A = this chain, B = another copy of it.
Amino acid sequence: MMEIQAFESIGLVKTLMNDPIENAGVQANPTPRTATLRDVAQLARVSFVTVSRVLNHPEKVSERTAKRVRAAIKKTGYVPNLLAGGLAMQRSRLVIAVIPTFAHRPFIGTLTELGLALEKGGYQLLVCQSGYSGENEASLVESILMRRPDAIVLTTPLQSKGMRTLLQQRRIPVVETWQLNDDPVDSQVGFDHVAVGKAMGHYIAQKGYRTAGLIWSEDVRAQLRRKGCISALSEAGVKVVGTEIVSVPVRTHDGRLACARLLDARKKPEALVCSIDLLAHGALIEAQHRQIDVPRKLGIMGFGDLELSADLEPPLTTVRVDAARIGACTAAILLSGFNNNSTEELAGRSVDVGFDIISRGTA
């Protein structure tokens, strides 16, 4: 008696717990466990390899059986298990991208396009946030590697040399984006930040401004642009009368404050060159608040061409980088590498997407 009760209750629990054992015997009420290849096979009265073939090599299966199998797939609601498939194939169909945070706007366009293009190619994009500090890079890399991604996309360079060589040893395709480096891990898609800075300095000088103030974010790449900017400015005889450095992540508000400080200094700049549109927008707000005539009395220039920038009044003069194209190129490199499955050395391609000065109303 006791025993029977015990059995019954175990049976009940088993059903609720969705125990696979339940399916071992022939049951009237099939346990709603997620279907596997074997479930489909049983229904279609073929071996489970055949089902696998229908999915992966349909040409190797007779149309008659294939039809039966497809019907069974539909009926069972079978969805392949990529964990199992990936383990067997040593291929996860997963690309992992690393960004500082989702809130960092410039990379969004790249992610959007990258995700879309990869999806089209049968791959999925997993995005990791690294934060700005880059401190425990080792554990970040480990958590990435655990998933055995088929490729890794970096939007910000890895700080540690050790991690870089680790990735190279593992022979994982890596694309570093948003910059062009002398010593890339593997491939890279980006542009020359120093050249951008030079072009900005040039533009300001050519517009006739004789002094400039710099509102700049402190990250490494921005410093590259600043270097270029300063060199072009001094070359053209434009004097840098003040520089405000803003720590990342920068906000519009920082630009406004920096602008105020620069305008309140003894030597007022005729133009404000900003490391990024967000800051330029803040500067514009402050200038307008002070009723300063932009661009006549004060020129303002940014970088990045936010969607917003063209809609400001006056519209912001800036530098455009095709973020979406960076994503598209990255996807193209990756996908071509995946298909051409020669296990040769990695491609190691380098693509310069360039940039454009967008001359608008503020400078």
- Kindly state whether residue A124 has any CB partner on chain B within 8 Å: yes
Q: Smallest distance from the beta carbon of A118 to chain B beta carbons, Å? A: 10
Of B77, B84, B102, B146, which one neighbours A79 at CB under 8 angstroms?
Answer: B146
Name the B residues within 8 Å of A307 (CB-CB): 251-252
- Kindly state whether residue A126 has any CB partner on chain B within 8 Å: yes
- Kindly state whether residue A159 has any CB partner on chain B within 8 Å: no
Of B80, B116, B145, which one neighbours A129 at CB under 8 angstroms?
Answer: B116
Q: Which residues, 29 to 82 on A, are CB-close (under 8 Å) to B?
A: 32, 34, 77, 79-82
Task: Please measure, in the bound complex, the distance between the C-alpha atom of A256 and the C-alpha atom of B171, giving whole angstroms.
Answer: 51
Of B125, B251, B256, B281, which one neighbours A127 at CB under 8 angstroms?
Answer: B125
Name the B residues within 8 Å of A81 (CB-CB): 87, 146, 148
| Cβ–Cβ contact B103 & A252, under 8 A | no
Of B87, B127, B148, which one neighbours A115 at CB under 8 angstroms?
Answer: B127
Asked whether A126 and B126 contact (CB < 8 A) given A79-B146, A115-B102, A252-B311, the answer is: yes
Q: Smallest distance from the beta carbon of A222 to chain B beta carbons, Å? A: 19
Name the B residues within 8 Å of A101 (CB-CB): 112
Q: Which residues, 279 to 309 on A, are CB-close (under 8 Å) to B?
A: 281-282, 285, 288-289, 307-308
- Kindly state whether residue A344 has any CB partner on chain B within 8 Å: yes
Q: Smallest distance from the beta carbon of A147 to chain B beta carbons, Å? A: 5
Asked whether A256 and B288 contact (CB < 8 A) given A84-B87, A103-B112, the answer is: no
- Kindly state whether residue A245 has any CB partner on chain B within 8 Å: no
| Cβ–Cβ contact B313 & A288, under 8 A | yes
| Cβ–Cβ contact A147 & B166, under 8 A | no
Contact with B along A84-126 (1 / 0, CB 8 A): 1011000010100000011100001101100110010000111
Task: Please measure, in the bound complex, the distance between the C-alpha atom of A81 and the C-alpha atom of B103, giving whole angstroms.
Answer: 30
Q: Smallest distance from the beta carbon of A177 to chain B beta carbons, Å? A: 15
Name the B residues within 8 Å of A143 (CB-CB): 119, 124
Q: Which residues, 293 to 344 on A, are CB-close (under 8 Å) to B?
A: 307-308, 310-313, 343-344
| Cβ–Cβ contact A170 & B34, under 8 A | yes
Q: Which residue of B lies closest to A32 (CB)?
A: B169
Task: Please measure, in the bound complex, the distance between the C-alpha atom of A86 and the C-alpha atom of B147, giving whole angstroms.
Answer: 10
Q: Name 8 A/B residue pairs within 8 A (Cβ), A-sorted.
A: A32-B169, A84-B87, A102-B112, A102-B115, A115-B128, A119-B129, A124-B143, A252-B311
The 5 A-B residue pairs with the shortest CB-CB distance, nearest first, are A126-B126, A252-B311, A79-B145, A82-B146, A83-B87
Q: A16-B344, A119-B128, A251-B311 are in contact. List 6 more A-B contacts (CB 8 A).
A: A81-B87, A83-B148, A119-B143, A124-B126, A124-B143, A308-B308
* Residues of A bordering B, CB below 8 Å: 16-18, 32, 34, 77, 79-84, 86-87, 92, 94, 101-103, 108-109, 111-112, 115-116, 119, 124-129, 142-143, 145-148, 166, 169-171, 251-253, 256, 281-282, 285, 288-289, 307-308, 310-313, 343-345
